[in-house]
Structure 1
Amino acid sequence: MRCVGVGVIRLKLGSIGLLLALFAQAAFGERLYLYTVDYPPLMTSKTGHYYAHRREDIGGACTEVVKAMMANTKYEYVMKMRDWSLAYDRVKAKKNHGLFCTVRNDARENDFQWVGPLLPLRWTLFAAPGSDIKLDSLEDARNLKIAGYRGDIMTETLLKEGFNVTRPVSDRGNARSLEMGVVDLWVTDRLVGPALARSAANLTGMRPVLEFRETQTYLAVSKSTDASVVAGLQAGLDKAIADGTVKAIMASYEKRAEQE
């Protein structure tokens, strides 16, 4: 009888634990899995690697915007930094998964639900420090060799328009390629160029010679995610925009870029 009593108590405790877990899940809402890539200063790894497993190890302007958005929602979330292709495919296939900061375009439009805009991506052509290259328009770069990277929206767009753009798997070596004269120009975001050159190649004084386009970035959310969750995320972002949080984050990073 004693053993049976202990078993019953254990069963009851187990049932209580399960009920508490279910209650906690209901109280806090859905758990979301948010992925990003190392693209400083918009998304930056604090681990010394190009990946991270915890949101505490991921910083950057766009990351701060997403964290501010999430603070205005009821959702629990996990944040990870991975390779772009892995993150993109995982998010596309799984419920309650999102990828930031992602450019929204015709090719991707129907693959995701969209929350945003988060921050603008300012398409800029950089020349090496000391370079005498001058551009009055994008067409002036037609016969020059431009560094980009595989999967990048700016790179792929220029390639489609007939420009000579390299496509390594990562953007991190492009500042060094520019410095060594392997390429003439580097296409990247206006904030990303100086920060990435400094962190990846210890190079300062990058010359932004032409800012030729601007697109907005978003949180791309899997199509299988409930629409009410996406609406909750959008509401959280809207609040962060309305109270000035997003504007303050952007201003802080623009000031840093001016000093690099």
Structure 2
Amino acid sequence: MLKYLRKALSIGLLALAGGAHAEITEDYKVILLTENFPPFNMAIDEKNFARDENIDGISADLTRAIFKRAGIGYNLSLRFPWDRIYRLTLDKPNYGLFSTTYTEERKPLFKWVGPLAKSEWVLLAAPGSSIKLNSLKEAAKYTIGAYKNDAVSQHLEAQGMTPINSLRDQENVAKLMSGKIDLWATTDPVGRYIAKQEGASGLQVALRFNSAELYLALNKETPDEVVERLQKALDELRAEGYVDEITNSYL
């Protein structure tokens, strides 16, 4: 009896080991989602929906190269708003989202590949503003606009602040220029890029309060093999100088 129990246990362990290292099928694909977040990812025609070759930017070009190097299929689309595609990636297996800011709060929610790029978190004031800050605590008395479910907005909320969240970050430019908000919480260089697109210039940095890394966030049910192959591909491309080459071509 003991002999048969040992044999059954051995077979069970082999099955588990096989499952842990099972290869993904040839038709496996990751459904990649992104948004207009220039210069990291953006629609060529600046609209809020685009597919595949109609999307460019630092992270978009790099992500394509990573998947090609890793030999993993994907479908890529740019959609709006961020809040929707963020929740889709949280909920649906085989979904991925970039450029996603890596934070401790988000760490357990996804599987991660990166970093793809870096950015800084800033509070921007209107041209001619006299607002100068030394800390986020000092900013609490001002009206702050932010982008809903963006990492910057989530960080401010975690600090007990109540930013006025918009579904489109572009809306914050108009609000700032018209005085509806005192400060715009965004990332650099994204904020400056968006402001230029909206015809605004001369915005002032009232405070730089964090630096962040941008990643590809994958649904937690993504096979570990996929994550490992993608990370290995990124590491190889970085070592070959490709990441710097792509970044410099946009900045």
Check whether TM > 0.5. yes
1:214 to 203, 211, 215: 211
Structure 2 residue 211 is matched with structure 1 residue 224:
no
Question: 2:97 corresponds to which residue?
Answer: 99
**Paired letter, 1:130:** G
Question: 1:20 corresponds to which residue?
Answer: none
When residues 27 and 183 of structure 1 are mapped into structure 2, their CA distance, relative to the original with a 3 A threshold, is closer
Question: 1:240 corresponds to which residue?
Answer: 237
1:139 to 106, 129, 137: 137
Question: 2:13 corresponds to which residue?
Answer: none
1:131: how far off? 2.0
**Paired letter, 2:133:** L
2:122 to 118, 121, 124: 124
Question: 1:250 corresponds to which residue?
Answer: 247
**Deviation larger for 184-193 or 113-122:** 113-122
- For normalisation by structure 1, the TM-score amounts to 0.79
Aligned residue for 1:117, secondary structure, equals: strand
Aligned residue for 1:38, secondary structure, equals: coil
Root-mean-square deviation (Å):
2.1
**Paired letter, 1:247:** D
CA contact (8 A) 1:125 1:208 kept: yes
Runs of 4+ aligned structure 1 residues displaced above 6 Å come to none
Structure with greater Cα Rg = 1
1:179 to 173, 177, 180: 177
Mapped partners of 1:159, 1:95: distance in 2: 28
| CA offsets 1:18-70 (integer angstroms, 9 cap, x no match) | xxxxxxxx996632211111222222112342121x22111122222212322
Aligned residue for 1:120, secondary structure, equals: strand
Aligned residue for 1:188, secondary structure, equals: strand
1:172: how far off? 1.2
Question: 1:166 corresponds to which residue?
Answer: 164
CA contact (8 A) 1:127 1:207 kept: yes
Question: 1:3 corresponds to which residue?
Answer: none
What runs of 5+ residues in structure 1 fail to find an aligned partner?
1-25, 255-260
What runs of 5+ residues in structure 2 fail to find an aligned partner?
1-23
Mapped partners of 1:196, 1:150: distance in 2: 16
1:181: how far off? 1.1
Structure 2 residue 71 is matched with structure 1 residue 74:
yes
- For normalisation by structure 2, the TM-score amounts to 0.82
CA contact (8 A) 1:190 1:211 kept: no
When residues 108 and 163 of structure 1 are mapped into structure 2, their CA distance, relative to the original with a 3 A threshold, is closer
1:50 to 45, 48, 51: 48
Question: 2:108 corresponds to which residue?
Answer: 110
When residues 132 and 99 of structure 1 are mapped into structure 2, their CA distance, relative to the original with a 3 A threshold, is same
1:80: how far off? 0.7
Mapped partners of 1:128, 1:139: distance in 2: 20
Mapped partners of 1:28, 1:206: distance in 2: 49
1:163: how far off? 3.0
Mapped partners of 2:54, 2:123: distance in 1: 30
Mapped partners of 1:188, 1:51: distance in 2: 22
Give the total of aligned pairs.
Answer: 227
**Deviation larger for 67-76 or 145-154:** 67-76
Aligned residue for 1:116, secondary structure, equals: strand
**Paired letter, 1:212:** F
Mapped partners of 1:202, 1:70: distance in 2: 36
Mapped partners of 2:139, 2:219: distance in 1: 37
1:252: how far off? 4.1
Mapped partners of 1:211, 1:69: distance in 2: 31
**Paired letter, 1:77:** Y
Aligned residue for 1:148, secondary structure, equals: strand
